[in-house]
Amino acid sequence: MERIRRNAEALVVKAMKGNDASHDASHVWRVRDLALSLAKEEGLASDPHSFQIVELAALLHDIADYKYLRDPSEDKIVENFLDQEGVEEDIKFKILKIIKGMGFKEEVTGSGNIEWFPEFGIVQDADRLDAIGAIGIARCFTFGGSRKRMLHDQAIPPRSDLSKEQYMNKEEQTTINHFHEKLLKLKDMMKTKAGKRMAEKRHKFMEEFVKEFYDEWNGLS
């Protein structure tokens, strides 16, 4: 496992070196650390297979992020890596299932049909925890800046009842709208008890930030 971990970390650095700071290697290290912490709190530490699934899925989850794909062939990087490293089929299956299904865009319609298991919930919660709170705010504005989005425009309200396709189309959206369309929804979408506990503080901080943002924008604070 140590060899696979080192190689996965090297792949992260190589594959994500051109990304902006909202989705760089540091994001991955934070998600990995959060995921392992959640796994321990959720009682998975005694199962080496589960721990391996959690760590590798957390490390590899953003390698083929659709927002940064430069070539369609990059979609197979993770699967090819797991094959080259000789990862057992049952572990590989779960890792790929986590990575392909954990994104907000897969759950955005609120259909409730997402099939998840303990390792899935842990990695997804870890990724979502890094999207909220102080770090989440910094990442949101970093990404918006990288795409040259406006901070706020009162003529562009947040969208509701988004489909997957609508969510992925952000061409005319503002950065502050992302809080309403995604970030402020994540607390109630956590799958694990540990994730829900950790999300409370981060969510509250984010709510206070959004209120202060609007107050300052409107000259009220």
Read off the pLDDT of residues 31-43 as tens digits, 9 standing for 90 and up: 999 999 999 999 9
Average pLDDT, the chain: 91
74 in a domain, yes or no? yes
221 in a domain, yes or no? no
pLDDT in tens, 85-106: 999 999 999 999 999 999 887 7
Q: How far apart are CA 55 and CA 1, in angstroms?
A: 10
- Packing angle, helices 118-129 and 48-60, rounded to 10: 40
Query: From the centroid of its chain, how far is CA 173?
Result: 19
Q: How far apart are the first and last CA of the chain?
A: 53
Q: What is the pLDDT of residue 111?
A: 47
CATH of the domain at 177: 1.10.3210.50
pLDDT in tens, 45-75: 889 999 999 999 999 999 988 888 766 666 7
Share of the chain above pLDDT 90, in %: 78
96 in a domain, yes or no? yes
106 in a domain, yes or no? yes
Q: What is the pLDDT of residue 163?
A: 67
- Higher-confidence residue: 207 or 168? 207
195 in a domain, yes or no? yes
Share of the chain above pLDDT 70, in %: 90
Longest dimension (CA), the chain: 59
Q: What is the pLDDT of residue 107?
A: 79
Q: Is 39 helix (H, G, I), strand (E, B) or coil?
A: helix
220 in a domain, yes or no? no
Is the pLDDT at 21 greater than 60? The verdict is yes
Q: How far apart are CA 68 and CA 185, in angstroms?
A: 24
Phi, psi (degrees; rounded to nearest 5) at 56: -70, -40
Torsion of CA 189, 145, 62, 138, to 10 degrees: -50
- Higher-confidence residue: 163 or 120? 120
139 in a domain, yes or no? yes
Range of the domain at 195: 2-215
pLDDT in tens, 134-156: 999 999 999 999 999 999 999 99
Q: Other CB atoms closer than 10 Å to residue 133's CB: what's the count? A: 20
69 in a domain, yes or no? yes
Q: What is the pLDDT of residue 113?
A: 58
Number of domain units in the chain: 1
Is the pLDDT at 158 greater than 50? The verdict is yes
